[in-house]
Amino acid sequence: MAQKQREISISEFFTKNRHLLGFDNPSKALLTTIKEAVDNSLDACEEAGILPEITVEVRDLAWEAVRDGDLTKGE
């Protein structure tokens, strides 16, 4: 068994094991990305000694592109 093992890069490991990072499906990937961005923002505010003011806006651009025919056109 040990003879079949080989070294792989960190990148290759996480590409094969996306579920460990929370990217195993599109919905979970979106939630993980937003959570990480908010966590990092809160950490930066705490380190800088300022009160956080964070706004998160999620829009479905693919749907808007189909609906409006123009990605730059909003709601």
Model confidence over 6-54: pLDDT tens digits? 888 988 888 888 888 877 888 888 898 999 999 999 999 999 999 999 9
Residue 2 C-alpha from the chain's centroid = 35
How far apart are the C-alpha atoms of 38 and 58, rounded to whole Å?
13
Type of residue at 50: I
What are the domain boundaries of the chain? 9-68
Q: DSSP of 10-65, one letter per residue?
A: HHHHHHHTGGGGT-SSHHHHHHHHHHHHHHHHHHHHHHHT-----------HHHHH
Would you state the pLDDT for residue 5? 83
How far apart are the C-alpha atoms of 26 and 23, rounded to whole Å?
7
How far apart are the C-alpha atoms of 38 and 25, rounded to whole Å?
20
Would you state the pLDDT for residue 70? 61
What's the pTM?
A: 0.59
